[in-house]
Amino acid sequence: MSLDSLVIAGKTFSSRLIVGTGKYSSHAVMVKAHEASGAEMITVAVRRVNISDRTKESMLDYIDTSKYFLLPNTAGCYSAEDAIRTARLGREAGLSNWVKLEVIGDERTLFPDNEELLKATRVLVKEGFVVLPYTSDDQVVCRKLEDAGAAAVMPLGAPIGSGLGIQNVNNIRIIREFSRVPLIVDAGVGTASDAALAMELGADGVLMNTAIAGAQDPVAMAEAMKLAVKAGRLAYLAGRIPRKLYASASSPIEGLVGRSLTPSP
Amino acid sequence: MPHLTPLNIILNGDSFDLDEPVTIASLLAKLDIDARRVAVEHNMVVLKRASFDSTTVREGDRVEIVNFVGGG
């Protein structure tokens, strides 16, 4: 069975894994990890250029933009206004009108401020952006984002960078059932089984950064994530068996050695 | 020699002195920044790259110059 593609806002991606560019020990490791991940879409952050120190290399020197689709984020923004400014800057710095929209509401948990997120989504959609909002695992918020014109919904599995895995499986399942736009599980993945679980629940994709960049061997973890996302997608499409409390034998009862099927006289 | 009027702008949040009003394009060149790698906001308005040559920075203006860095 061949894997189906991920389509967001009319653009087709053969990989359902979206990876970040933060926290890598070196550009070289990042490049290898991206390669191993098989991802086609990668996230980047928008930050002020260091005016006094121009020696730092540009990250774009290490990203082949003919091969990877750049998704600028608005990470670190705490208001709709800042997120909108950052999205507009990202559009000019980059090559597309796509944005991973983040409006953070709390410093410690990095949970989204969904009220500001909705505000920013409405404005940016009106300006022609393809908005992919990072949000809570809340079906009502996801529906409102969808109604506001978001091209996908990206609920968290767990807090950003926590590696806790998907904390509320049922919420993701419910969002899957209701969502008419692609569902990307964004944040919280710790290891391959978390990514596989997200896909088995019916997510259309998974977005991660720390799980790969922070692994002891990021390149190996990137490959693990690629396989997990594929395995999870296949399992979802294959349709799992229902859960049962008791056993159901896999081998036939008939023809067992030493067992008599006819009652003894 | 033309008369120079020194001015002060807010560049990426910090005070920055210029000898005279300059275009965004010459400001970037002066700072040794590749214009193709950055985006610029001038007084809260994000500029199209094509307008870097025609936009002039004046006294008290706020300029933000950003680029892409690693992120998730």
pLDDT tens-digit series, residues A115-134: 999 999 999 999 999 999 99
> Is the CB of residue A221 less than 8 Å from the CB of residue A211?
yes
**Closest CA of chain A from B5, distance in Å:** 22
Q: CB within 8 A of A130, min separation 6: which ones? A: A8, A9, A96, A97, A98, A99, A151
Residues belonging to chain A: 265
Query: Residue A45 is nearest to which of B12, B46, B71, comparing CB atoms?
Result: B71
The residue assigned the tokens 């023809």 is: A255
Which tokens in the block code for residue A60?
């774009």
**Closest CA of chain B from A218, distance in Å:** 15
The number of beta carbons lying within 10 Å of the beta carbon of residue A64 is 10
In this prediction, residues A251-262 reach a mean pLDDT of: 82
Which tens digits make up the pLDDT trace of A58-78?
A: 788 899 999 999 999 999 999
Which tens digits make up the pLDDT trace of A98-111?
A: 999 999 999 999 99
* Nearest by Cα to A211 from A167, A168, A165: A165
Asked if the C-beta of B1 comes within 8 angstroms of chain A's C-beta atoms, the answer is no
Residue B29 confidence class, pLDDT cut points 50, 70, 90: very high
* Nearest by Cα to A103 from A134, A130, A129: A134
Q: Which residue of A has its CA nearest to B10?
A: A51
Q: Which residue of B has its CA nearest to A88?
A: B46
> Is the CB of residue A135 less than 8 Å from the CB of residue A117?
yes
Asked if the C-beta of B49 comes within 8 angstroms of chain A's C-beta atoms, the answer is yes
CB contact under 8 A, B65 and A208: no
A41-48 vs B62-70, strand pairing mode: antiparallel
Q: What are the catalytic residues of A?
A: 100
Q: Which residue of B has its CA nearest to A208?
A: B72
> Is the CB of residue B42 less than 8 Å from the CB of residue B63?
yes
CB contact under 8 A, B66 and A89: yes
Q: Which residue of A has its CA nearest to B35?
A: A93
Q: What is the ipTM of this complex?
A: 0.92
**Closest CA of chain B from A182, distance in Å:** 19
Amino acid type, B49: R
Which tens digits make up the pLDDT trace of A183-233?
A: 999 999 999 999 999 999 999 999 999 999 999 999 999 999 999 999 999
CB contact under 8 A, A22 and B71: yes
Whether residue A264 has pLDDT greater than 60: no
pLDDT for residue A183 = 98
> Is the CB of residue A72 less than 8 Å from the CB of residue A98?
yes
* Nearest by Cα to A203 from A230, A227, A240: A230
The residue assigned the tokens 């091209």 is: A151
Q: Which stretches of chain A sit within 8 Å of chain B by CB?
A: 20-24, 30, 43-49, 51, 54, 58-60, 70, 72-73, 75, 85, 88-94, 160-161, 187, 207-210
Asked if the C-beta of B29 comes within 8 angstroms of chain A's C-beta atoms, the answer is no
CA distance A247 to B22: 79
Which tens digits make up the pLDDT trace of A162-194?
A: 999 999 999 999 999 999 999 999 999 999 999
B70-to-A33, A181, A210 alpha-carbon distances in Å: 14, 27, 11
CA distance B62 to B27: 13
Q: What is the pTM of this model?
A: 0.92
In Å, how far from its chain's centre is CA A218? 17
A134: chain B residues, CB-CB within 8 Å = none
Top residue of A17, A49, A97 to mutate, by most chain B CBs within 10 Å, is A49
Asked if the C-beta of B33 comes within 8 angstroms of chain A's C-beta atoms, the answer is yes
Partner residues linked to A13 by β-bridges: A6
Q: CB within 8 A of A59, min separation 6: which ones? A: A21, A27, A44, B67, B68, B69, B70
Query: Residue A46 is nearest to which of B13, B33, B68, comparing CB atoms?
Result: B68
Please give the angle made by the CA atoms of A190, A165 and A227, to the nearest 5 degrees.
60
- Phi, psi values for residue A79, rounded to 5°: -145, 160
Q: Which residue of B has its CA nearest to A18?
A: B72
